[in-house]
Amino acid sequence: MSPLLDASAYHTLLRSFLAEDIGTGDITTETTVSAAQRGRGAVIAKAPLVLAGIELFAEVFRLLDPTTAVEIVSHDGEELTAGNVPATVNASARALLTGERVALNLLQRLSGVATLARRFVRAIEGTQSEILDTRKTTPGLRALEKYAVRVGGGKNHRQDLGEAVLIKENHIRLAGGVSAALTAAQAAKGRARWIEIEVTNLDELRAALTHMPDVILLDNMSSAHVRQAVEQVRKHSAPKKIRTEASGGITLDNVREFAEAGVNWISVGALTHSAPAVDLSFEIEPE
């Protein structure tokens, strides 16, 4: 089942998007369409996709016209094919025209993220690995893009810098090495959900294992090296289970190799930074 989204919680964000797009006023619509005119808009899928953000789409028009009536036929998480109509909107024609671009941009963007996430999740079916996102999100849209990842079947990594410790190469360099960084990170143990460190080779891995972090991120390693690293972690960490994560250079073509290497998590920045917008249109007719 798809996670639920309370679109009303995003009113401030949606209003800011509308303000950005409307500017001093939609002069085209205001001069060509009567304020009394009503219209009916239909969302149409132009290609296969996983739907995400349909409630936000509807909320844009409700903010512009409180009399808006929306019929949602397909819900977030459902897979659509070309020609499917997931929702129709009856509202002031001016509201439909003015809100169209903001509403459609959000729906296309979030559905694109969900669609790509679903493809990665399907690619590793039958393994013990999970697909995770990263913090490589669009500023201002992180919560929504991470929601779309969940809609697609993926999991969320850190929501923000305060959730967990993730020691990366620059932290290691500035702290003075793997051991120094992990020793210092123990000060955050009471407030961090987990402590994780990134390693790029087996020497760094061995250094990290002596400190028993919660998670070890195997960064930019080949799937063969990841398999070796996972075996070392399993031997060293028993009976405590240290989770392993693979990241860097992972695509739909090779993601299953990494899953079969035995990692717990596979984090894919492309889910949010490179997901293409899906092909949707919004066709408006006079009511």
| Tokens read off for 117 | 């996430």
Whether residue 59 lies in the annotated active site: no
- 136, 155, 206, 243: which one is catalytic? 136
- 101, 119, 135, 243: which one is catalytic? 101
Whether residue 168 lies in the annotated active site: yes
Whether residue 136 lies in the annotated active site: yes
Q: Considering only CA atoms, which of 245, 271, 270, 269 is closest in space to residue 258?
A: 245
- 65, 100, 196, 219: which one is catalytic? 219
Spatial neighbors of 150 by CB under 8 A, at least 6 apart, are 2, 3, 156
- 15, 46, 122, 168: which one is catalytic? 168
| Tokens read off for 272 | 């949010």
Helix (H/G/I), strand (E/B), else coil: 274: coil
Whether residue 163 lies in the annotated active site: no
Whether residue 189 lies in the annotated active site: no
- 100, 198, 204, 245: which one is catalytic? 198
Residue 139: DSSP 8-state: T
Strands 280-286 vs 38-45: parallel, antiparallel or unpaired: antiparallel
Q: Considering only CA atoms, which of 86, 100, 118, 110 is closest in space to residue 18?
A: 100
The catalytic site residues sit at 101, 136, 168, 198, 219
